[in-house]
Structure 1
Amino acid sequence: MKAIRVHATGGPEQLQVDDVPVTEPAEGEIRIRTEVIGVNYVDVYHRQGVFPVALPFVPGMDAVGTVDALGPGVTGLSVGDRVAYGELPGAYAEFVTVPVRLATAVPDGLDSGTAAAAMLQGLTAHYLAHDSHPIAKGQVVVVHAAAGGVGQFLVQFAKRAGAHVIGTVSSDEKAALVSELGADHVVRYDQENFREAVRRITDGAGADAVYDSVGKDTFLDSLDSLRPRGTLVAYGRASGKPDPIDPFTLVQKGSLKLTWPSLTHHVLTREEFTARADDLFAGLLDGTLRARIDRTYDFADAPAAHARLEGRESLGKILLRHP
């Protein structure tokens, strides 16, 4: 089969098409013939070596396709079923073999592109909004990189919960998108100090939670944007790894809570994975959630897809599709 592999860490040019063997599903696994593959920033981190992976490797953490083979002991899915999977490397390939606990059926009425656009980023936003800090009606939450894939879903989940949302963005085009998704205030962090903006918007009280995927450049100001007993949910480091802080700083700034969670630890069972996916898919079907597709590239054009994502040019999910 054809697969895109990384043999050495570096730029998008390290993504190359190789011929690799098709693997047989083991106990509790299924093999999926991929149709649409998600491109996520974690793929960039893996390719760059920020999150080290043994070389060579096939990147990609989510895809939608058709069940091609079942391993022993698999129940609940059949060969020919259309499924979505997430949270395991190897998606940039014609076939991918995954544990059945990380896959779920795609409902009729939901097209494969939309399902793929929602999968990893939607599941990430789901646990961030429902578990890392359960957003409640009337709360004020700040979403950094609100026009990004996870950010868009966070804005929507927060509004669905009845929260007041402050989104931060870096362009007028992104500001318009985030406003369209329902954000109550949009801050151009490249033009205004977002900490001061949050304090102004909340009359000095601060936010109940800040969702920060930016990292080093925003981390300390994110802490300073919180009300007493507020929560900083850090889940990315697009600008670099934040500097260490003394835990006593959290007391000094108002008995704050700090967490850095991972999707891996929020889909530990098949039941948890499918429950999150079912809620996500239901929202897409009833119109309470939207998945925006930025651009779809042919499978072999993965380097161009990475360059667009890494250049922060995208306004939604980037996908790869087999010709």
Structure 2
Amino acid sequence: MSTSTGKIVRIHSTGAPDVLKYEDLEIGPPKAGEVQVEHKAIGLNFIEVYWRTGVYPLPLPTSIGNEGAGIVRAVGEGVKDFQVGDRVAYGCGPLGSYCTVRNMPTHPLVKIPDAIDFDTAAAMMLKGFTAQYLLRRVYKVQAGETILFHAAAGGVGTIATQWAKSLGVRVIGTVSTREKAELARANGCAEVIITSEENVVKRVKELTDGKGVPVVYDSVGKATFVESLDCLKPRGMMVSFGNASGKVDPVPLQWLVERGSLVLTRPTVASFTADKAEMLESAAEMFGVVASGAVKIQINQRFALADVVKAHTKLENRCTTGSTVLIP
């Protein structure tokens, strides 16, 4: 297989969305242990804003993105689990999904069931893996519990709240606008708190007869961290899994004592997908809830890969809901 051409989005410096550059790509055949994937859809996630702006530093220049779906076009020496023509998707790196075609190791790849199309797969992998580990591994929610989920109308939120409801969990979701509140209710939230209009802690206590919740899932970060702690019942768990509003300041351990022996964790999807068998188990459960209809992947925005600057601008300004995909 000779060298072929394509397109790639790279950053040569960190900053505003316009640092994303749509460039030509030359790519050779896959090496041993690799496959070449021709992308049909690429997932867009808020973590890519962190990479672009330098919140999470990367060596430059680089391509970003770690979620995509497409077709295997070539296989390298020693690859046995995949063959040319396989429909595949991934949601846990390595970085570089912002391109039309790429060579990559087989570890992150999973085969897409026939019932799942490329756009859906690209929109659900990272967010679906995240929802899975949050609800089923970090804190295994139980039927009858009431939980608090911040940013309930976002990409992870719309998946996780549907999933939690299907498990018999009562979800209190937070959103920033009335429009997003309607979306959150449609996706399984029994109660929705509009953060621009209501006091989150006061409302959560009202909705739980003063007890608080056993777990809070918080991807907002700095702006909501303390109030999230205050929403927990004694011995509850604070799951901080994102920094959309900025990094959380150092936390005095005494805060956890004062609020009743709280548990604080800061998980990341990489820790729950590093083991191939565990990742495949998570993927099977994730595909299962989507195929059953219990969780519907809502792709509310589509952008051409060439329009990635526009896509990042919308994402960073909180102008998106549900999932967003880039189309090569």
Which bracket does the TM-score occupy, shorter chain normalised? Answer: over 0.9
The residue number in structure 2 matching 1:251 is: 257
The residue number in structure 1 matching 2:18 is: 13
1:62 counterpart = 2:67? yes
Distance 2:239 2:187 in 1: 21
| 1:22 CA displacement | 1.2
The residue number in structure 2 matching 1:111 is: 117
**1:214–1:239 CA contact under 8 A, matched in 2:** yes
Q: Secondary structure at the match of 2:84?
A: coil
Please list, as runs of the form range in 1=range in 2, the aligned pairs for 1:218-229 lying within 5 A after superposition: 218-229=224-235
Please list, as runs of the form range in 1=range in 2, the aligned pairs for 1:118-197 lying within 5 A after superposition: 118-197=124-203
The residue number in structure 1 matching 2:308 is: 302
| 1:70 CA displacement | 1.7
The residue number in structure 2 matching 1:45 is: 50
Q: Secondary structure at the match of 1:37?
A: strand
Distance 1:236 1:309 in 2: 15
Distance 2:48 2:103 in 1: 18
The residue number in structure 2 matching 1:269 is: 275
| 1:166 CA displacement | 0.2
| 1:289 CA displacement | 0.7
The residue number in structure 1 matching 2:219 is: 213
TM-score by length of 2: 0.95
Distance 1:30 1:274 in 2: 18
State the one-letter code of the partner of 1:303.
Answer: V
Q: Deviations over 1:190-244 (max 9, x none)?
A: 1111111101100110001000011111101100100011000000111111121
Distance 2:135 2:34 in 1: 29
Q: Deviations over 1:92-130 (max 9, x none)?
A: 111122221201111112111111111111111111111
Distance 1:23 1:50 in 2: 32
- Structure 1: tracts of 5 or more residues without a match: none
Residue in structure 1 matching 2:35, options 25, 30, 47: 30
The residue number in structure 1 matching 2:3 is: none
Residue in structure 2 matching 1:83, options 80, 83, 88: 88
TM-score by length of 1: 0.97
| 1:162 CA displacement | 1.3
Q: Secondary structure at the match of 2:157?
A: helix
| 1:290 CA displacement | 0.8
State the one-letter code of the partner of 2:48.
Answer: D
1:312 counterpart = 2:322? no
Q: Secondary structure at the match of 1:231?
A: strand
State the one-letter code of the partner of 2:172.
Answer: I
Distance 1:129 1:278 in 2: 15
The residue number in structure 1 matching 2:76 is: 71
Q: Secondary structure at the match of 2:307?
A: helix
Q: Secondary structure at the match of 2:62?
A: coil
1:98 counterpart = 2:104? yes
Q: Secondary structure at the match of 2:168?
A: coil
1:201 counterpart = 2:207? yes
Q: Deviations over 1:4-32 (max 9, x none)?
A: 10111011111111123315433432221
**1:100–1:270 CA contact under 8 A, matched in 2:** no
**2:163–2:289 CA contact under 8 A, matched in 1:** no
The residue number in structure 1 matching 2:9 is: 4
State the one-letter code of the partner of 2:265.
Answer: T
Q: Deviations over 1:11-70 (max 9, x none)?
A: 111111112331543343222111101111111110111111111111111000001222
Residue in structure 2 matching 1:230, options 218, 236, 261: 236
- Identical columns (%): 41
Distance 1:25 1:247 in 2: 49
